[in-house]
Amino acid sequence: EVHLVESGGALVQPGGCLRLSCAASGFTFSVYTMSWVRRAPGKGLEWVSYIGSASGDIKYADSVKGRFTISRDNAKNTLYLQMNSLRDEDTAIYYCARERGGYYFDGWGQGTLVTVSS
Amino acid sequence: EIVLTQSPATLSLSPGERATLSCRASQSVSNSLAWYQQKPGQAPRLLIYDASNRATGIPARFSGSGSGTDFTLTISSLEPEDFAVYYCQQRSNWLFGQGTQLEIK
């Protein structure tokens, strides 16, 4: 069974930084592509970033490009999201998700809340 | 960029009724379309992938259809636990639709 647990969410000031983690278990983490998806208050789901199984392929949404960095440690079964230069509009629940079929997400964590506010 | 438009924004129905949710793509996505359900305080849950394949553990009352630009999620007979927000999602940039709120009438 896919088990994903995010951590690292917090209240941070605009311009600040934060690193999210996602601990994976119940499946062979190293062979799966992974993504971060967020949901801002009162809004819908927004894909944020993608990473290939061996970290060779990485993509970002335009809204976070140049500010966020996705990475993974397959030895530790952990996915990361380094978030720099945070803005008010980055306030959201951040989910890590396991990808299948090249696009859909068949496993999700419970989410971690990031609040950007002064 | 391919845009997904979901309709209606809000759907008010009673338990036992049939729900029909629509997702339209601005250009063809072939059959690369997924549907998710999200309840308050919970993570999204995959319902349908590749337009019409039910995900593991999803009840048979959920079905998906369509290809190209027009897709439909049908819930044949609503159960109380089905009232939630539903999103469609396609392959290009993992883009989601804006969601349909399915509420109790």
CB–CB contact B89 A103 (8 Å): yes
d(CA A23, CA A34) in angstroms, rounded, equals 12
Residue B83 has which token pair? 């009232």
CA distance A95 to B43: 8
Asked if B44 lies within 8 A of A109 by C-beta distance, the reply is no
Condensed to tens digits (0 to 9), the pLDDT of residues B19-61 reads: 999 999 999 999 999 999 999 999 999 999 999 999 999 999 9
pLDDT band at A48 (very low <50, low <70, confident <90, very high): very high
Q: What's the CA gap between B37 and A83, in Å, rounded?
A: 27
Whether the CB of B98 is below 8 Å from some CB of chain A: the reply is yes
**B99 and A45: CB-CB below 8 Å?**
yes
DSSP A51: E
**pLDDT for the residue numbered B36:** 98
The half-sphere exposure of B17 on its side-chain side, counting CA atoms within 13 A, is 13
Closest CA to B38 of B1, B89, B4, B92: B89
Nearest Cα to Cα of residue A29 among A116, A115, A107: A107
Sign of CA dihedral A108, A110, A115, B3: positive
Is residue A9's pLDDT more than 90? yes
At A2 the pLDDT is 95
Determine the 3-state secondary structure of B23 from DSSP. strand
Give the model's pLDDT for residue B94: 93
Q: Is pLDDT of A26 > 90?
A: yes
